[in-house]
Amino acid sequence: MAEINPFWDELCDGVFGEPVAPYGVTGEGHLPSYFRTSDLAEASIGLAGVALARLGAHGKVVVDRRLASLWFDMTLRPLGWEAGSLWDAIAGNYQCKDGWIRLHTNAPHHRDAALSVLQVALDRDAVANAVQEWDGETLEAAIVAAHGCAAFMRTSQEWEAHPQGRALATEPLVHWEDHGACAPREASLEELKVLDLTRVLAGPVATRLLAGFGADVLRIDPPTWNEPSVEMEVTLGKRCAGLDLRQADDLARLKELMREADVFVHGYRADALEKLGLGVEVRRALNPEMIDVSLNAYGWSGPMVARRGFDSLVQMSCGIAAASGAGKPVPLPVQALDHATGYLVAACVLESLRARSEGVLKSAKLSLARTARLLMQETCAFEREGAIEKNARDFSDMVEATGWGDAHRVTPPLKIDGKAPKWHIPAGPLRRHSAAWA
């Protein structure tokens, strides 16, 4: 019998609150990592599949472990055009006086924040020279205070002793909240309206999966937010609209959409929606039966609760990047915290739908840092031999007419009763649809 995935029990406990029989596995291999990254890929995608099967069909869930690992990375192979670079000119790891720090500068306002603190122009060497003059924690604090994104590399022991690491140690994998009885509603994904206010990878991965099994996903972005390197990954299957929530008309439009939504998935910082006039009380008054699932970077308690954060920064903070002992950051081979959290978010949406079909309204909160804590429980030997490398056979024959050109995509890893997800809307640029339900 195949070995039980090391994360399965804890995932079931966190999402279903009870043991559940696992999915079947095909395919094999591992991503080269000091952590069980491929196990997490397989189990988190399996979890979303099992959550879907629990909704009603009770179908057989099968995960291809090799493809699951590949879906934790970029899945598209452009035909005759080029995808943009994943990182901007200065994003990356830099040596400071007492260690290493990572700057996340893909968004222009985050880049401006880092450059204003370092007082240099947009030039990698200039940034490197300036960073060398700083203590890591001081620089991290200064960039964060300027509304930017940076993380000093800490060991796992340092993180465990850090006030944020200590707060996180007391948090569950999923913060479930029970809102009491509601009218039971059918739990099918067909025609389910999912309002998606998430960005970059983690949240959008969740709603991409829901779209692949039939949900009507409407993603809303601010007027100037762009994600050139990942839009082709995360817009698959969704309609994408823009609203400036600081304008009364657009805010009113979003509230209209919310009144009709079944599910609201969001990845704004803990206090950002409140500041936009869309706090939890407002949302519940607008639509008392809307399922609300959110994700944050550093958890839902502790001094860093409102901090901006990305997968690569959380890896630096919590000890993943330092785990090799090489004295320099060694990141995970893929952005596994984002992807795993995304599939957990999808599983929580599905589990909430199941509860609502039985007349109970629930909401859930997750975080990248708590997912990191799960991953860090299982270390392993770094094996490059036999490591998964994408090849032509991993791609589907189907041609996807994306908004940028034709492309092949890696075959999806999940099947339920032999049925793979199917996306009816190809990937395309943000804000190209109107802010209305289909």
Site residues for ligand OXK per CB under 6 A:
107, 199-203, 222, 243-246, 267-269, 272, 275-276, 295-297, 308-312, 335, 338, 368
DSSP-derived 3-state class of residue 291: strand
Tokens of 344: 């957990």
Look up tokens 């009491």; give the residue.
180
Look up tokens 């007419």; give the residue.
401
Check the CA dihedral 270-338-234-8 and report its sign: negative
* Smallest separation (angstroms) from ligand OXK to the CB of 418: 32
Nearer to ligand OXK (CB atom), residue 27 or residue 299: 299
- 295 CB-contact burial (10 Å; exposed 0-12 / middle 13-18 / buried 19+): buried
* Smallest separation (angstroms) from ligand OXK to the CB of 247: 8
* Smallest separation (angstroms) from ligand OXK to the CB of 218: 13
Name the H helices within 8-135: 8-15, 37-54, 65-70, 108-118, 124-131
* Smallest separation (angstroms) from ligand OXK to the CB of 59: 30
Nearer to ligand OXK (CB atom), residue 295 or residue 347: 295
* Smallest separation (angstroms) from ligand OXK to the CB of 220: 6
Nearer to ligand OXK (CB atom), residue 120 or residue 314: 314
Whole-number Å distance between alpha carbons of 147 and 153: 19
* Smallest separation (angstroms) from ligand OXK to the CB of 200: 3
Nearer to ligand OXK (CB atom), residue 23 or residue 310: 310
Strands 414-416, 61-64: pairing kind: antiparallel
Nearer to ligand OXK (CB atom), residue 203 or residue 426: 203
* Smallest separation (angstroms) from ligand OXK to the CB of 309: 5
Nearer to ligand OXK (CB atom), residue 227 or residue 394: 227
Q: Which residue is nearest to ligand OXK (CB)?
A: 267
Look up tokens 């629930």; give the residue.
362
Whole-number Å distance between alpha carbons of 34 and 32: 7
Nearer to ligand OXK (CB atom), residue 222 or residue 403: 222
What strands lie across the sheet with 61-64, from one edge to the other? 24-26, 61-64, 414-416
Nearer to ligand OXK (CB atom), residue 211 or residue 295: 295
Whole-number Å distance between alpha carbons of 182 and 51: 21
* Smallest separation (angstroms) from ligand OXK to the CB of 92: 13
* Smallest separation (angstroms) from ligand OXK to the CB of 109: 6
> Is 35:398 a contact under the CB 8 Å cutoff?
no
Task: Kindly provide the b/e burial profile for residues 245-284, where b requires at least 16 CB atoms within 10 angstroms of the residue's own CB.
Answer: beeeebbebbbebbeebbbbbbbbbbebbeebebeeeebe
> Is 187:357 a contact under the CB 8 Å cutoff?
yes
Look up tokens 């880049």; give the residue.
111
Nearer to ligand OXK (CB atom), residue 81 or residue 87: 87
